Structure formats: structure tokens, C-alpha cells
Amino acid sequence: MLVSAKDMLNKAKAGKYAVGQFNINNLEWTKAILLTAQELNSPVILGVSEGAGKYMAGYKTVVGMVNGMLEELKITVPVALHLDHGSYDGCLKCIEAGFSSIMFDGSHYPIDENVAKTKELVKLAADHGMSLEAEVGSIGGEEDGVIGKGECADPNECKAIADLGVTMLAAGIGNIHGKYPENWEGLSFETLDAVQQLTGEMPLVLHGGTGIPEDMIKKAISLGVAKINVNTECQLAFAAATRTYVEEGKDLQGKGFDPRKLLAPGFEAIKATVKEKMELFGSVNKA
């Protein structure tokens, strides 16, 4: 059964480790992540962006697939199904569809509007026993080939949002989605420290987990990060493994064109990436 991310993240914050949020795109992604979590006895959060939700034929399809896998694959570790960077309407749809966790990304609104909308969703999420992630300070990333710099959140604004009763808070600390550019200045631990000082027990979320050096990940966890989002890294691993398979001409040998064979190396590559991250984040055997 899907669970809210609340308990797993409060435990992670207290135990100084982080739970990974791995974004899903299809059946192979979902199965690879769930099986790895079970093998490593780790809690896990499946992230679904609005775009990926649409791609997978809607949130209800996603809920059906994930619930089916939990049962058929006998997954017993805690699993949360979480909307990633949701709009207000997206959050409403996921509540209705049977997700167990939502993120409302109001970081692009003026702070008063972000507060007002987050406040309404805090109540709705609580009524449904779901966890809610809020965001302050936008997270940069690549758009049309231009890599936007990650903004640093205002710690006082973080406190205002945390005080609304959200479950976890994503604060921009110079992190971005996708690959980091050569001249990236690194995470702002000063901002993270200030946010944690003001928000106390609140589990903090680090987006843009792909490509952040290990020592920075560990330092971020030591400063209160209890959830780390990884998406691009699984995509890169999947694409590289699939490329090798095709370049080696394996799809042309025997029944190598069968999708169950063609997609197998990518599936294994996702498993290996997720394992590496769970070990780095310290969530192994914390189910």
C-alpha cells in the first residue's frame, strides 16, 4: 500500500540520512526502482512530473500501475507516490487519483500567493492523509539550451512556508535540474544552514540530485536534507545502456528486437544508478 512520505522523511531527518525520490517515466522505470528499493530494504519515493503523468496516460493510470506492482512484486518497503513540481490544479488531480504525496511548486508566485495557495493545500493534503512538499526559491535548469542559475531561497520565506504545516520543504540553494555547467558555483551551504536554523525539524528537500558531488550530498544531509530528487541520472544511464546494445548490433541478433530484450540493459542501468544513490544517501536498511 502506498504511504505518505511523512514518517519516512521524519525518520530520515532524525537519523541523518536521506530518502531518494526517483522520477518515473514508464513501466521499466517504476519496476526497476521498486525492485531495487525492496532488495536494499530502503524506503523510496516515486516522483511523477506533470509531463510524465501526461506521458503515462494520466495520473489514474500511474496509480493503477504502481499499486499493481506493489502487490504483484510483493513490495513491502515504504513507497510514496509523489507529484513532482505540481501546479495547484495538478495537486487536486493527484489527490483525486490516489497519489500519497504531492508537491506544490509555488516558487514562481510572489511569496504571499505562494503562502496562500500552499495553505489551502496543507488542509486538503491533511484531510487525505497525504504529505505535501512546498518550494521556496526556484530551482534553475536547462531551458532552450540556456542553463538558468539556481536561485537561493530567502530563509525567512522558508520559515513562513514551513510554519503552514507542510511535510517537507524544498529550498533553492543554487541547485539546478539536469547536468551542472562547468562553471557551477556549487551548493550554498550558508543558505541551507540558515534555512535549517529557522525551520528546525522540517525535512528539507534537495532537487537536482544529478551530478552533485558526493561530498556535497553528504554535507547537505548533515545540514538537514532528508529527501534528494534524482531524475536525469537515471535517464542518462538508461540511454547509454540502450545505445551500447544497439551499437553492438544486438537488436539485429536473434530476437534481440523484442522490447523485453531491447529495454533490459537500460532497466539494469536504472537499477544500478538507484542502488548507488541509495547507498550514498544512507537509506539502505532503513525501511
Residues in contact with ligand 13P by CB under 6 A are 23, 47, 84-85, 177-178, 207-210, 229-233
**Three-class SS of residue 228?**
strand
Nearest approach in angstroms of CB 111 to ligand 13P is 21
- Cβ closer to ligand 13P: 45 or 65? 45
- Cβ closer to ligand 13P: 174 or 245? 174
For the question of residue 84 being annotated catalytic, the response is: yes
**All three cell numbers of 114:** 505562494
Secondary structure tally for the chain: helices H, strands E: 12, 11
- Cβ closer to ligand 13P: 170 or 241? 170
**All three cell numbers of 61:** 493510470
Nearest approach in angstroms of CB 166 to ligand 13P is 16
Nearest approach in angstroms of CB 6 to ligand 13P is 19
What DSSP designation does 177 have?
E
List strands edge to edge, sheet with 146-147. Answer: 146-147, 140-143, 176-177
Alpha helices, H only, the chain: 6-15, 27-40, 50-55, 59-72, 88-97, 111-127, 155-162, 189-199, 214-222, 232-247, 259-262, 264-281
- Cβ closer to ligand 13P: 43 or 178? 178
Q: Which of 84, 112, 127, 144 is catalytic?
A: 84
What DSSP designation does 250 have?
G
Burial of residue 257 (CB within 10 Å: 0-12, 13-18, 19+) is exposed
Nearest approach in angstroms of CB 205 to ligand 13P is 9
Residues designated as active site: 84
